Structure formats: C-alpha cells, structure tokens
Amino acid sequence: MRPLLIANWKMNPPSPREASGLARAICRGFRAHPRIDIIVAPPFPFITEVRSIFGKSASLAAQDVAPFSSGAYTGAVSAPMLKHLGVRAVIIGHSERRRFYGETDEVIHQKIKMALGAGLRPILAIGEDLPDSHDVVPQVLRDQLTRALVGIPKKKLSHLIVAYEPVWAIGSGKADTPDNATRRAIYIRKLLTKMLSNRIADRIPILYGGSVTSKNAASFLVDDIRGMDGLLVGGASLKAEEFLSIARLISRR
C-alpha cells in the first residue's frame, strides 16, 4: 500500500487568499512525490478553490458532514453536497468534534453511513483521551470502532480509512512513541479483521495523527512489519515547507 498523507487544516487559514497560497505552495512541491497519496481537508468555503489548484495531485476531503441526508438542519452540509463539490473523503469522529460539538458514537455512526451512501471515503478518527491510560486504550479503540461501524455492510467498508489519534497528542507537541503507534496499528487491524474480514481489513489504511512534524514523521512508518500506513497531520500541514518535508520523508519509505 502506498503511504497516505492527510492534511487537516482545521479552521485555518483565515482567508481565501492565504488558503490558495498554501495550496499552491504545497502543490508545487508535491509533484516531486509521486509515490505517496495525498488528501487535503480545507475548511468548507475553500474547498472549490483548493481543489482547482491541486487538480489531480491530491484528493480533497471535508472536515465534517451532516448525519442527515437533507432537510431543515440549519448550518449543516450533506454528503451529496460534498460529492457535488468533488470531495472524495470526509473526516468523521475527530476528537475536536467529539469534544466541542458533543458528537457521540451514534452521531459518528450516522455520519459514516451518510458518507458511504454518497460514495465518500470516511476517515474515522479514534483515540483515547489521556496519556496515562495505557491499559484502557484497547477497550476505548474497540468501543469507538465497533460503535461507529456496527451494522454497516462489510463490503462498503473497504473504502474506510482509520486514523488513530490519541487525544492527548493532538496539538500538544507530544506525539505518541513510534512503538506504541505501531502496536495500536496492529491492534486496530486485528479488530478490523475480526469485524470485517482479512481481505477487507487489509485494504483499510491505518494512519497515525497527533503532533506529527518533520522530526518524527518517518519514525511512524516502519519497514519490517505492517504498522501505520500513513499520517494525519494538523498544525504542520499549515506550513508548506514543513508539510512537504513530511511528504518527502514518507515517500522514501
């Protein structure tokens, strides 16, 4: 599987001009990294412009989707609307959505169904809250994964992407250790194999996210065993040079 690199811009940058500038700077550098797949998730209002800048060099993702298909849901954006914009994937279950918008596993489950129904790839984010809760991590990951995916036809889930993002590592400057991340990737794949099948689980990229920088990026992708298949990058994706360094490092793996 080619390494997958996802940029989550969150609520940045502040203006369309800066968003286009960032997209252009990243896009120029990407042409040099044909051996990895890139997905960029800008805020909704910048999607069309950013998509036209990247063209075929990167896929576009949304950072959220409504748990309903259409109707009177003020402020919401549906999966079919995203599909019409040319969006290919959508981040679902990010800890910032869980925390600041009170999203439950049930809402996340509905969003995954909506995304799949519209032909979008769900990027499901899961992870534990606290750094010292090692013994409860397997349980947290199992619960979040099963509640998000319960009852969804297995075949549809071959388009899933899973991002392991320990909440304590997000934006904190304290990334998880590569050894832990590898252990989590193996565990998540084991869960997916049990829930789906070996063949389907094998096709699902599992990514690490949480304070990834050019200093630690390469260490999360190991050679000798199948661990993480890529990275989900927040803060460091807002600096073109830094993001391009990460791309360069993982395209050499």
d(CA 90, CA 115): 7
Number of residues that bind ligand PGA (CB under 6 A): 13
Q: Which of 33, 94, 96, 242 is catalytic?
A: 94
Going by C-alpha positions, the residue among 252, 217, 222 that lies closest to residue 7 is 217
In the complex with ligand PGA, the residue whose CB is nearer, 205 or 235, is: 235
User: Any contact of residue 122 with ligand PGA (CB under 6 A)?
Assistant: no
In the complex with ligand PGA, the residue whose CB is nearer, 41 or 66, is: 41
Nearest residue relative to ligand PGA (C-beta): 234
Return contacts of 65-74, CB within 8 angstroms, 24+ apart: 65/90, 65/92, 65/111, 65/114, 65/115, 65/120, 66/111, 66/114, 67/107, 67/110, 67/111, 67/114, 68/110, 68/114, 69/114, 69/117
Q: Is 165 a catalytic residue?
A: yes
Going by C-alpha positions, the residue among 153, 76, 158, 149 that lies closest to residue 106 is 149
- Contacting residue, 13, 21, 80, 171, with ligand PGA by CB under 6 A: 171
In the complex with ligand PGA, the residue whose CB is nearer, 122 or 209, is: 209
In the complex with ligand PGA, the residue whose CB is nearer, 127 or 227, is: 127
List the beta bridge partners of residue 7. 40, 233
User: Any contact of residue 210 with ligand PGA (CB under 6 A)?
Assistant: yes
Least spacing, CB of residue 151 vs ligand PGA, in Å: 27
129 within 8 A of 149, measured Cβ to Cβ: no
Binding segment for ligand PGA among 30-38, 51-59, 98-106, 206-214 (CB under 6 A)? 206-214
- Contacting residue, 90, 185, 232, 247, with ligand PGA by CB under 6 A: 232
Q: Is 94 a catalytic residue?
A: yes
Interacting residues with ligand PGA between 5 and 34 (CB under 6 A):
8
Query: What single DSSP character describes residue 44?
Result: G
Exposed, middle or buried: residue 173 (CB in 10 Å: 0-12, 13-18, 19+)? exposed
Q: Which of 96, 103, 128, 165 is catalytic?
A: 165
User: Any contact of residue 205 with ligand PGA (CB under 6 A)?
Assistant: no
Going by C-alpha positions, the residue among 175, 184, 165 that lies closest to residue 227 is 184
Binding site for ligand PGA (CB under 6 A): 8, 165, 170-171, 209-212, 232-236
- Known catalytic residues are 94, 165
